[in-house]
Amino acid sequence: MRGWFDLSGWVIDLTPLRVNRQYRLLFTGRLISVFALGMLIVVLSVQTYDLTGSSLQVALVNTVLGLATITGSLAGGVLADRVDRRRVILVSRALAIAGLVGLALNAGLESPSVAALYVFAVWDGVTGAVGATAFGAAVPAVVPRAMLPATGTLMAVCLDLGSAAAPLAGGVLAARGGAQGVYWAVAAVSLVSWLTLLPLRPIRPGQGCAGEADPEPPRPRAAAGSGSPKRRGERLREWGADLAGGVRFARSEPVVAAVLVMGFLQIFFASPHVLIPEFVQGHLHAGPEAVGLMYSATSVGAILATLCSGWVPRVRRVGLVIVGVYVASGLGIALFGLAPSVALAAVAMAAVGAGDVVGEILRFTVLAERTPDRLRGRVQSLWTAQVTVGDSLGGPVLSLGARLIGVGPVIVVGGLVAAVTTAALLITRPALRSLTRDRSGDPADRSRPEPVPERDARDRPGSDPATDNPQNPTRRTRSSS
């Protein structure tokens, strides 16, 4: 066992990539897909502004994309808990590629349609979110429980690398080849991602990490397509009931609920990215290059933290550490708002990025360990929804606050509120204070409640409310994205 003072034990653990082919395929496909998504967001905003000359239109397109992402995440969460997650990933990504082709064809018209940008933003938002949610539910199912922290670290690296490089590549391609060329490039990169994921074996819901039995596996249902026409007409109602069952589980499991709320608090109060240009120019009296430095500093801090994250699997008091790093991140945002120079502001943002990524790794681990596999898709959809909603609401709230009390003070207040409310979770959630992990990767806290039964109109003799998986009951056999 590597000790705390063994320097090799602080380096990122690449074991899941070396020994697990299923995970290696998922990681590679996701890395390529994140790169494509980063380019898409840039070119979609650039083309919208070029066609309309309106920043409001750019904001509206991104809002529509965010709403579509929420919708796709919620639908994808239910779907990922019903059928083979490999199938959901491949079908949804194929549909997303079709939407990218539509964007490229529209960009090639003599007068590209602005309305089409909204339509395809909805299309790609929904299909992309369905696939990402199924992906997030699939990762813990293909790795052993002891490798979950290392897996979460690698997924964080995947997202950080994609978010750091892809926007720059998208901007350069848009400047040189126009929007149509970028859309075709994004479609081609997405196709490579799809082909990378094609060799995956089936990843069916209902089992634990890497084939471990789920504590309460789903019982078989009637085969898909059976039943009366009325029964088939109730399918949408059943999906709503399944989603409600996932929400009930998240609310009833105190640690899961606290972890989800913690992420929302950080994103809502302590993500002042929309204020960075105003803060840099008005408070630090610096130019655009300093604005870019602030955005990059967060990713640099996150990447450095993940590269030195070999110690994370040895954390025992997981609950206290998660709260500690997020409280520190909130205080880091407050220090950023007080920074008198560009250098100190960049250091503060790098520290925030490092704290956030450690918190995300541990949150991923906790959610993967404490959520039954048959519910992971729906819990993953709630993770995505709280990120999107927090980001969509937090930016306008902070912007309004900046008009009232100034940009620096509102950043400070937001960071302090995030730190205080996160610390308060230790008081309101005793299970979070006692949450520990042993060295084998098993949660040492065994006091979790049984999952709340999913009750809906199907709770009648001869029907089973646990899942609606058309696969047979001998199915063989999930990360945040």
pLDDT tens digits, residue range 119-159?
A: 988 998 899 889 888 888 888 888 887 788 788 778 877 77
Residue type for position 416: L
* 417 inside domain: yes
Residue that is last in its domain, among 214, 239, 267: 214
pTM: 0.66
Is 316 found in the same domain as 186?
no
**How far is 137 from 27, CA to CA, in rounded Å?**
13
Do 185 and 285 lie in one domain? The reply is no
**What's the pLDDT score for residue 294?**
81
**Whether 304 and 394 share a structural domain:** yes
Do 274 and 393 belong to one domain? yes
Q: Tell me, yes or no, whether 8 lies in a domain.
A: no
pLDDT tens for each residue of 176-210: 778 888 899 999 999 999 999 999 999 888 755 55
The CATH number of the domain where 312 resides is what? 1.20.1250.20
> 138 and 93, same structural domain?
yes
Residue 297 CA to its chain's centroid (Å): 20
Q: What is the predicted pLDDT for the residue at 333?
A: 93
Percentage, residues of the chain above pLDDT 70: 79
Residue with tokens 């990713």: 299
Report, as an integer, the average pLDDT of 224-245.
62
Residue 30 has pLDDT above 80, yes or no: yes
For residues 184 and 105, is the Cβ–Cβ distance under 8 A? no
Asked if pLDDT for residue 82 goes beyond 90, the answer is no
Q: What are φ and ψ of residue 439, in 5° steps?
A: -70, -20
Q: Is residue 462 part of a domain?
A: no
The reported pLDDT for the residue numbered 453 is 41
Cα 167 from Cα 296, distance rounded (Å): 11
Weakest-pLDDT range from 7-16, 374-383, 444-453, 468-477: 468-477
Amino acid 60: pLDDT: 77
Three-state secondary structure string covering 132-196: HHHHHHHHHHHCCHHHHHHHHHHHHHHHHHHHHHHHHHHHHHHHHHHHHHHHHHHHHHHHHHHHH
Q: List the single range of 100-109, 252-261, 398-407, 454-463 with lowest mean pLDDT.
A: 454-463
| Torsional sign, CA 379, 361, 436, 330 | negative
Contact 469, 475 (CB under 8 A): yes
Number of folded domains that form the chain: 2
Do 190 and 256 fall within a single domain? no
Q: Do 272 and 341 belong together in one domain?
A: yes
Average pLDDT over residues 67-91: 87
Q: Report yes or no on 115 lying in a domain.
A: yes
Model confidence pLDDT, tens digit, residues 423-449: 998 888 888 888 887 655 545 544 444
Asked if residues 61 and 44 have their Cβ atoms less than 8 Å apart, the reply is yes
- Give pLDDT, residue 278: 79
Q: Which of 161, 196, 214 is the last residue of a domain?
A: 214
Q: How far is residue 242's CA from residue 255's CA, in Å, rounded to a whole number?
A: 21
pLDDT value, residue 9:
58
Give the domain range for residue 123. 15-214
198 and 252: one domain? no
Domain identity same for 73 and 198: yes
Domain annotation covers residue 405: yes
54 has pLDDT over 80 = no
Residue 222: pLDDT band with limits 50, 70, 90: very low
In a domain, 227, yes or no: no
289 within a domain of the structure (yes/no): yes
Lowest mean pLDDT among 210-214, 240-244, 467-471: 467-471
* 221 pLDDT tier (thresholds 50, 70, 90): very low
Does the CA dihedral 222-224-228-232 come out positive or negative? positive
Q: In this structure, are residues 205 and 473 in contact, taking their beta carbons and an 8 Å threshold?
A: no
Task: Clarify whether residues 275 and 207 are in a common domain.
Answer: no
Asked whether residue 54 falls in the same domain as residue 121, the answer is: yes
**What average pLDDT does the chain have?**
77
Single residue among 214, 240, 256 that ends a domain in this structure: 214
Of 72-81, 204-213, 419-428, 468-477, which range is least confident?
A: 468-477
Q: In this structure, are 375 and 258 located in the same domain?
A: yes
CB-CB neighbours of 290 under 10 Å: 20
**Please, which pLDDT band fits residue 335 given cuts at 50, 70 and 90?**
very high
Q: For 209-216, what is the mean pLDDT?
A: 50
Of 313 and 51, more confident: 51
54 in any annotated domain: yes
pLDDT on residue 96: 92
